Structure 1
Amino acid sequence: MDRRALLAGGALLAAGAGVGVGALVRGPETAGVALPVPPSAVPFHGPRQAGVTAPQEPATQLLAYDLAPAATSDGRTALRALLADLTRLLAEAVGGTAADARLAGGAPASRISSLVGIGPGLAGRLGLGVPAGLADLPAFPGDRLDPARGGGDLVLQLCAADRWPLSVLAEQLTGAVAAKGGALRWAQSGFLPRTPTGTTPRNLFGYKDGTANPGEGDAEQWVWGPPGPHEHGTVLVYRRIRMDIGAFAALPEAGRDQAMGRRLGDGAPLTGTAEHDEPDIYTKNPDGSYVLPATAHVRLSSPRLDGGARILRRGYSYDDGPTDRGLLFCAFMRDPAQFTRIQSRLAAKDALNPFLEHTASAVAYVLPGVEEGGALGDRLWS
């Protein structure tokens, strides 16, 4: 191997793992050498917020804020100014133009995406233009909710390829809220295992999580707001769910599969052969019992029990210590009543209930996206 080939090979190694490789470059100095293609940044501007539409990244940070009480007119003015500040900070971080040197230049590789949502309490106090169904969730049997870990006037989610930019950006956003008289209510970090593009990540029980998400057509009907002032908006339902990982792992694999309704190895439903086969809740065994047990998680959450309604799930795992690990359930839907119907069935008889404890909850209207020159929330005032 000659010196030029050694240098070219070293340059590729220095580019680091996880960087895509482009087409072969044919030139006198680089013939036959595949050069790395830098990752592209997630666009911030667009009709929908990228925190819902972009592929999930390995790291997330959820933040919720309480805003200072104010008269309706003053509160609207302050909120409008705050949303403009948040829009600017998020756009600069994504675009690599942030004044903070800790964020400068790393935007494409960081793959930052974000969403900003309005809580039902703030919407009610200020008479904001949010969907009519926006409301906090009712209490469910078995809930052990900590009010300090849920709710909030503003709910934000940041996602990125690693934790570093999330910590810096969260600091900036919290400072912007504080400057307008608000305060951090709660914060929660989460993570995903690194998985090949297009594959479903696994949760801490080891099962694939997010397999049955809606396709584009179903999402237009069940996830995104209808044409009008809420078009391209959606509703986030957040649940912090502690998982008893050791107790669940102690079950035989067949028992875990029966409780979940899917196979651990390939994620296929018990009625199918591949991960994305539609679970058939009506298929029976020769003895007349259902192949998907009556208490199986997949059965109870089936769209067939809810008129075909689907939700978009983008969950993350969390680890806050040996006795507090679990799932950050983040799901998006047109109307939070969709989640209420599902969770009511699950709370009644889900086979996973002995291994789960819901410890926090929040609901927020995820604002439509913003075009360049605009600010998030431009439709809230009418």
Structure 2
Amino acid sequence: MHIERGNPQDGDAPARPRIGRRALLSAGAVLAAGAGAATATAFGRDPAAPPAAPAAAVPHHGARQSGLAYRQLPATRLLALDLPADASRDTLRGLLAGIDKVLAAASAGALADPRLSGTAPVSSLAAVGTALAARLKLDLPAELADLPAFPGDRLDPARSGGDLILQVSAEQPWTVGVLTEHLLTAARSAGAAVRWSQAGFLPPVPDGETPRNLFGFKDGTANPDAADPGLWHADGTILVYRRIRMDTAAFTALPTGGQELAMGRRLTTGAPLTGTAERDDPDIYAKHPDGSYIIPATSHVRLSSPRLDGGARMLRRGYSYDDGPDDRGLLFCAFMRDPALFTRVQNRLAEKDALTPFLTHNGSAVAWVLPGSRPDRPLGATL
């Protein structure tokens, strides 16, 4: 019993009956069991129900890498590696084979590390950067090319580029961290060095719902399906990566109506300003009676609309990052056949987007996402 200071128990109170130790232990066991059941019920688990089945493993081998063939997992790590200047194609193939071995074992729950247990879902991808592709004269699609400079860019070379871009994702940051150690061991044994590293995350959302970015808006609504043939060269594609710092304090200080006009969508539902549901197709040409656009000409949704690019779309699988109070934002990872699409969109955004005052692009990379591997053909074997 808690006794407040200045209010001692009354010494004249009648003596309480003594409770035997055995009875006390029995009562405690009953109470503990009841408390456990109540706690389980409060957090949504029926104590009488069987334990939840473990999540299924993500197959590592396949025509396309699991980092794109599987749903987004909520914890991720991007690694950019540089190879020695005299690295050959054999050096690259050896490095990729070592990485592929680690990732295949991790996906199968067979990685020899006591910190990992079972077959927790793991997805990954590996992509060859433009500089290494040019240096080794790799036979890759002609569309693979660096991006031009954009107005307002503040790119940090220490956060940009890389000969090889790796991404590993899992349900928990713990798993990502352990796998990162194994990947770095394999990379360093082949002579590679870390150029930059970046962790990212998705907020928890119910299955089937679109996650929100740090501005509070749903991010990734109008995405093509990963199987869309318009994204692929056979079973490979091109990654455009941008690290974008977001001035969340300034943006969220705007009135909700101002935020929605800048974005072109409703904050609560994610619906476009011309619709009522999140998945409604934004009508960028609809106007008010006075002739002004319902989705403003400077809104993010309008300027990034596929209608302005002949219907061409990129697959966006972005993550938030939080590296401190003054460095929070978006890891924009987009996949497409031709990065010229990103260039067109970004030029429009840099010129007119109402979000631009709240965004700073400080990291960038373009890389060729390799086709998937097989047990008899590791990543990069066809380079």
How does the TM-score come out when normalised to structure 1?
Answer: 0.87
Q: Describe the SS at the equivalent of 1:84.
A: helix
1: CA distance between counterparts of 2:187 and 2:162? 13
> Paired residue for 2:81, among 61, 65, 85?
65
Change (3 A) 1:11 1:41: farther
- Percent identity, aligned pairs only, is 61
Assess if the C-alpha contact under 8 Å between 1:314 and 1:330 holds in 2.
yes
The CA deviation string for residues 195-253 of structure 1, in whole angstroms up to 9 with x for no partner, is 11111000000000000001367x212x111xxxxx11111111000000011011110
Equivalent residues of 1:312, 1:332 under 8 A apart: yes
**SS of equivalent to 2:88:** helix
In structure 2, relative to structure 1, the CA distance for the partners of 1:77 and 1:265 (3 Å cut) is same
* Offset, 1:172: 1.5
Question: Are residues 1:99 and 2:108 paired?
Answer: no
Partners of 1:83 and 1:36 lie apart in 2 by 36
Give a deviation string over 1:143-197, Cα, whole Å, max 9, x none: 0000000100000111110111211111111122211111000000011111111
Moved over 4 A (4+): 9-14, 16-19, 32-35
- Tell me how far 1:34 sits from its aligned partner: 4.7
Pairwise CA RMSD: 2.4
Q: How many residue pairs end up in the alignment? A: 353
Q: 3-state SS of the aligned residue for 2:221?
A: coil
1:1-382 counterparts in 2 under 5 A? 33-70=49-86, 75-103=88-116, 105-108=117-120, 111-215=121-225, 219-221=228-230, 223-225=231-233, 231-380=234-383
- Which stretch shows the higher mean deviation, 168-177 or 75-84? 168-177
With over 3 angstroms needed to count, the CA separation of the structure-2 counterparts of 1:146 and 1:17, relative to structure 1, is farther
The match for 2:3 is none
CA distance in 2, matches of 1:102, 1:361: 33
- Displacement of 1:136 in angstroms is 1.4
Cα distance change on mapping 1:185 and 1:254 into 2, 3 Å = same
Aligned pair in 2 of structure 1 residues 353, 378: CA closer, same or farther (>3 Å)?
same
Unaligned runs of 5+ in 2: 1-28
The verdict on how the C-alpha distance between 1:370 and 1:357 changes in structure 2, with shifts beyond 3 A counting, is same
Deviations 1:306-346 (A, max 9, x none): 00000111111111111110111111111111111110110
- Write the letter of the residue equivalent to 2:88: G
1:330-363 C-alpha deviation (Å, 9 max, x unpaired)? 1111111111111011011100001000010011
Larger Rg: 2
- The range that moved more, 275-284 or 124-133, is 124-133
**Deviation of residue 13 (structure 1)?**
8.3
